[in-house]
């Protein structure tokens, strides 16, 4: 699954179609985080085939819909239990998330290899990670990811100087350099 944008929480309910032998079959419900409902249904069948002997061809989707937050304007702290495949093995992880797109940068995990197991909202007092605790305090503002704008400007200036090389000498105007005649190496003097 590619990261196509913001992940939405979807609720997908599916089952095997009823047969003459068994009229009432159990329903299977999953909370899946996906960019759209098509990918949510695909992930539903992927996880259900791992848990039960069911496939998309032998089942049906009863309901697929997006779950909306009750209070979207309130700032919340989330704890996420997830599993991801790295280059070496599979890892289980407990994360307190503020920026959800740092898995690829920090752990080298592909988007399709991350499985979100459980998401829970927590109070600031329940946070276990010491690196994240200062963000929950009221007096410390949340810093945006990445370097400060002044540091970025200095970095871009250094890169530009490196790429362009040393500039013209202070006494030489750039227009004079452009209009100067170019001497060819193999040109013979006419006598």
Task: Quick: pLDDT tens for 65-116.
Answer: 998 888 777 767 778 888 888 778 888 877 776 544 455 556 667 777 777 7
Same domain, 59 and 104: no
The strand pairing partners of 66, in sequence order, are: 10
Per-residue pLDDT band at 125 (split at 50, 70, 90): confident
CATH assignment of the domain containing 83: 3.10.20.10
Same domain, 81 and 59: no
* Residue 88 is assigned to a structural domain of this protein: yes
What's the residue count for the chain?
A: 191
* Residue 162 is assigned to a structural domain of this protein: no
* Residue 45 is assigned to a structural domain of this protein: yes
- In the predicted structure, residue 144 carries a pLDDT above the cut 80: no
pTM over 0.75, yes/no: no
- Where a domain ends, among 85, 103, 130? 130
Same domain, 24 and 61: yes
Answer with the residue of higher pLDDT: 130 or 171.
130
Tell me the CB-side half-sphere exposure of residue 1, using CA atoms within 13 A: 24
Q: Kindly give, in sequence order, each residue whose CB lies less than 8 Å from that of residue 59, ignoring residues fewer than 6 positions away.
A: 14, 15, 16, 17, 45, 48
* Cβ atoms of residues 112 and 1 within 8 Å: yes
The C-alpha atoms of residue 56 and residue 14 are separated, in whole angstroms, by 10
Over residues 16-58, the pLDDT tens digits come to: 888 888 888 899 999 888 888 999 999 999 989 988 888 888 8
Over residues 34-44, the pLDDT tens digits come to: 888 999 999 99
Least confident of 6-10, 11-15, 111-115: 111-115
- Number of separate domains in the chain: 2
User: CA-CA distances (angstroms) from residue 24 to 12, 21, 112, 123, 162?
Assistant: 19, 9, 34, 41, 71
- Where a domain ends, among 66, 90, 113? 66
Structure token digits, residue 30: 């999953």
Check residue 61 and give its pLDDT. 93
The parent domain of residue 53 ranges over 8-66
Q: Kindly give, in sequence order, each residue whose CB lies less than 8 Å from that of residue 32, ignoring residues fewer than 6 positions away.
A: 9, 10, 11, 12, 40, 43, 44, 47
Same domain, 18 and 57: yes
- In the predicted structure, residue 155 carries a pLDDT above the cut 90: no
Tell me the CB-side half-sphere exposure of residue 182, using CA atoms within 13 A: 3
Same domain, 54 and 16: yes
* Cβ atoms of residues 90 and 117 within 8 Å: no
C-alpha 2: how far from chain center: 9
Check residue 185 and give its pLDDT. 62
Same domain, 52 and 87: no
Q: Tokens 């949510």 appear where?
A: 40
Same domain, 54 and 93: no
Which residue from 67, 110, 65, 52 is spatially nearest to 86, judged by alpha carbons?
110
Question: For 144-152, which contacts have Cβ atoms below 8 Å and span 24 or more sequence positions?
Answer: 145/99, 145/102
Same domain, 58 and 81: no
């Amino acid at each position: 699954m590619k990261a196509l944008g913001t992940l939405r929480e979807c609720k997908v309910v599916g089952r095997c179609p009823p047969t003459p032998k068994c009229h009432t079959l159990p329903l299977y419900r999953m909370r899946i985080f996906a960019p759209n409902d098509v990918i949510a249904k695909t992930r539903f069948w992927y996880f259900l085939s791992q848990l039960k002997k069911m496939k998309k061809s032998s089942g049906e989707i009863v309901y697929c819909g997006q779950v909306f937050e009750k209070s979207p304007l309130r700032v919340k702290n989330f704890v996420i239990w997830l599993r991801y495949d790295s280059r070496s093995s599979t890892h289980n992880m407990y994360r307190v998330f503020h920026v959800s797109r740092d898995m690829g940068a920090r752990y080298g995990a592909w988007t399709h290899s991350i499985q979100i197991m459980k998401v829970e909202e927590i109070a600031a007092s329940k946070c276990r990670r010491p690196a994240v605790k200062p963000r929950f305090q009221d007096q410390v503002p949340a810093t945006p990811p990445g370097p400060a704008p002044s540091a970025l400007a200095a970095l871009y200036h250094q890169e530009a100087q490196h790429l362009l090389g040393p500039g013209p000498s202070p006494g030489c105007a750039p227009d004079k350099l452009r209009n100067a005649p170019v001497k060819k190496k193999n040109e013979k003097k006419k006598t």
